[in-house]
Structure 1
Amino acid sequence: MKSPRDTLMYQEAHAAADVIAHQLAANAGVLAELGERLRAQSPRCIVTCARGSSDHAAAYAKYVFETRLGVVTASASPSVASIYDAPLQLQGALFVAISQSGKSPDLLLSVQAAKAAGAQVVALVNDTDSPLAQAADTVVPLHAGPERSVAATKSYLATLAAVLQLAACWSGDEALHTALERLPADLRQGWEADWSALGEGLLAVHNLFVVGRGYGFGAALEAALKFKETCGLHAEAFSSAEVRHGPMALVGAGFPVLVFAQEDGSLEGTLGVAAEFRTRGARVWVAAPGATGPDALPLPAGVPAITTPLLAVQSFYRATAALSLARGYDPDVPPHLRKVTETL
């Protein structure tokens, strides 16, 4: 009988702290140089382009770039270039393409269209020999190494760390640099958190909501995808500000909700939504720094809000590897899925 520790998903998620420690050192030079160029000639906007888990990293990047750099950041649909061949107006824009494999045809077409439209292209990519890396103006390697589980874990967390390091080098924000310096140690500490209550509570359910806000919204998106991918669970992600606009009508007695929260201006409102769901009889798990109680999913206290989602997602991956096996799945080989998805 396979145990969670035997899964590649568990092992690769566990490796994230070491991966990120290496990545931060290895990318210091290229990102310092890129940051200097961007300060000298600031882009008028940032456009991200990605799919799947990489697009969830892009959702996190939007909040990081807008809050720490003050540069409006939007997501580009790859279909605009690959299907509709629509002309883009991207003069003076920074186009950030995110991919693990760097091979998806629609992403490559989007990069080509962005360059033709006048954008500077930065690729956050794990495979530095990929077509995406060859097409970009600047390559930021993820340094995650080979990832054999179909479910992306360490490469996703490495992408978030790369986003943070790019923002730190561009902004010169010492607090952000400090948060990055402590991140590998925070991840190692966070790995020991006991999230077994989540797996026990979700063993026999079929549907759930995952809720987050701000820096935590990308974590909610990623968790919902992994529930579907590895556990056969129908999960939908919502911002804690948006879930009241219709979706919460579904939440009643016994309905499961997973909430991600971090200690910033979103905390009170997000915990308020969790409390409201509990008054309806919902089963609510809250992942927050210093959380306690039977349905609390603990995270280390005192972690910077901007890095809290990395610790939450890492603990989520560990718990999900166990839940997947308990529900009769193999998280390393989800049904009908391949490691590299090439979309046109």
Structure 2
Amino acid sequence: MTEAAATPGRNMTDEIAQQPAVFADLLAGRDVIGEVAAHIAKRRPRFALLAARGSSDHAALYAKYLIEVLLGLPAGLASPSTTTLYGAQPDLTDVLLVSVSQSGGSPDLLEVTESGRKGGALTVAVTNTADSPLNAAAELSVDIRAGRERAVAATKTYSATLLALYLLIDAVRGGTGANAQPIPDLAASTLEAGQGAVDDAVRRYRFAERMVTTGRGYSLATAAEAALKLAETSYLSARPFSGADLLHGPVAAVDAETAVLALCSNGRGGDAMREVLDVVHDRGADVCAIGSAASDVRASHRIPVPDCAEELAPVLEVLPVQRLALGLALARGFDPDNPRGLRKVTRTR
């Protein structure tokens, strides 16, 4: 047995730490992403669909916001089961279909991509495996360049997917990726400076039985990813909600026994979270605010994140989320590298 295999969480710990270098490498290869973007811009799609599963589905949700806000195109999340279970073959003429899969080996996404291409879509695969079946099926492909990920829980592949999607969509609109240039250094700062606040949060929430994760705008994707990470590594009952949706019914279940993980980065999404956190704080919930605007909201505990362009905040704010999931898993006596009953590749059809 290797040292990494014998030490609980060793792989996840190492892969979280690798992210600043992964981001730097991805930025160094942005010209290749720019070539894919040029093909997309030339085709002038009228609509965008995003197909994904698991953590990649949260990355797709992030891309949905980017496409609608930065490109001004309507975008939606595809339902793979309409193809794989019901055999639907919609007319996708002039539609951009982006399939997001870290492994590139998901059979249902492969089927969706093949069907979409036959239906007239411009298909783009975003993966961490350049020779994957999904890349072969799509007309265009983007390699997120994260390197092999050994831990079952996605960390560096998730954040690299976010950055790759940003660089792709920014390039489609004619951008140069300038806002992303500081991201490697900001990521290193996030990991170095924020560890103490994360450790405090681990001690605070070690015995939590249920948690709500919430965010608005671009950060909604991080809220969804946070709930998944906590559930798959710590077996914690965690539910994600948009801040807006949380106030329309689910807030009735929030009380002093509820821990609330709130993503609050500077920008319109973070501003919209203020009212939400006022309400849940008044209901007695223990609120942990994560983000560049964490100091500006009502919270019981705060994990600050460096400021950046709002559309890039999810790349940074997910880093302490990953550290928190890792720390809680270890504190509860679990090995996040080997979560019960989980595997790396989603085989759902």
Q: TM-score range by the shorter chain?
A: over 0.9
Give yes or no for contact 2:47–2:96 (8 Å, CA) kept in 1. yes
Secondary structure (helix, strand or coil) at the match of 1:242 reads helix
**In the alignment, is the contact (CA less than 8 A) between 2:9 and 2:337 conserved in 1?**
no
The superposition leaves residues 245-273 of structure 1 with CA deviations (integer Å, 9 ceiling, x where unpaired) of 11000011231100001211122220221
Residue 232 of structure 1 pairs with residue 235 of structure 2: yes
Match of 1:18 in 2: 21
- Structure-2 residue corresponding to 1:54: 56
For 1:32-47, list aligned pairs within 5 A. Answer: 32-47=34-49
- Could you say which residue in structure 1 is the equivalent of 2:336? 331
For residues 34 and 243 of structure 1, what CA distance do their matches in structure 2 show? Answer: 38
8 Å CA contact 1:104–1:341 kept in 2: the answer is yes
Alignment of 1:103-118 (within 5 A): 103-118=105-120
Q: Distance in 1 between matches of 2:74 and 2:53?
A: 20
**Aligned partners of 1:310, 1:260: CA distance in 2, in Å?**
12
Q: CA RMSD in A?
A: 1.8
Residue 4 of structure 1 deviates from its aligned partner by: 8.8
- What is the distance in 1 between the residues matched to 2:263 and 2:7? 23
For 1:294 and 1:244, locate their aligned partners in 2 and report how far apart those are by CA, in whole Å. 19
Q: Unpaired segments of 5 or more residues in structure 1?
A: none
Q: Equivalents in 2 of 1:79, 1:239: separation in Å?
A: 24
Contact 1:98 1:124 in 2 (8 A): yes
- Aligned identity (percent) is 37
How many equivalent pairs are there?
340
**TM-score, with structure 1 as normaliser:** 0.95
- Sort the Cα spacing of 1:217 and 1:210 in 2 relative to 1 into closer, same or farther, 3 A: same
Deviation at 1:37, TM superposition (A): 2.6
Shift of 1:305: 1.2
2:186 equivalent in structure 1: 186
User: Per-residue displacement from partner, 1:54-94 (whole Å, max 9, x unpaired)?
Assistant: 00000000111111111111011111111111121100011
Q: Distance in 1 between matches of 2:266 and 2:65?
A: 15
Corresponding residue number in structure 2 for 1:288: 291
From 292, 302, 315, the equivalent of 1:310 is 315
**Residue by residue, what CA displacement relative to the aligned partner does 1:76-133 show, whole Å, maximum 9, x if unpaired?**
1111111111121100011000001111111111011100100011000111111001
Q: How does 1:244-263 map to 2 (within 5 A)?
A: 244-263=247-266
Q: Indicate the SS of the match to 2:289.
A: strand
State the SS of the aligned residue for 1:225: helix
The match for 2:275 among 268, 272, 276 is: 272
Give the 3-state SS of the residue equivalent to 2:49 in structure 1. Answer: strand
Query: Which residue does 2:210 correspond to in 1?
Result: 207
Q: State how far apart, in whole Å, the 2-side matches of 1:149 and 1:202 are.
A: 23
Distance 1:196 1:274 in 2: 23
Which stretch shifts more, 204-213 or 187-196?
187-196
Q: CA distance change for structure 1 residues 199 and 340 in 2, over 3 Å: closer, same or farther?
A: same
Counterparts of 2:251 and 2:125 in 1: how far apart (Å)? Answer: 37
**1:219 equivalent among 198, 222, 235:** 222
- 3-state DSSP of counterpart to 1:320: helix
Q: Which residue of 1 aligns with 2:148?
A: 146
Aligned partner of 2:199 in structure 1 is 196
In structure 2, the CA distance between the partners of 1:143 and 1:199, relative to structure 1 (3 Å rule), is same
C-alpha distance in 1 between matches for 2:294 and 2:216: 17
- Spell out structure 1 runs of 4+ moving beyond 6 A: 1-5
**Gapped runs of 5+ residues in structure 2?**
none
The CA distance in 2 between the partners of 1:141 and 1:97, in whole Å, is 12
Specify the SS of the correspondent of 1:236: strand
Q: Which amino acid aligns with 1:298?
A: P
Alpha-carbon distance, 1:290 to partner: 5.4
Aligned equivalent of 1:167, options 163, 166, 169? 169
Q: Output one character per residue of 1:187-221: Cα deviation in whole Å (capped at 9) or x when no partner.
A: 11111213223212221111110001110000000
TM-score by length of 2: 0.93
Query: For the Cα contact (< 8 Å) 2:264–2:293, is it kept in 1?
Result: no
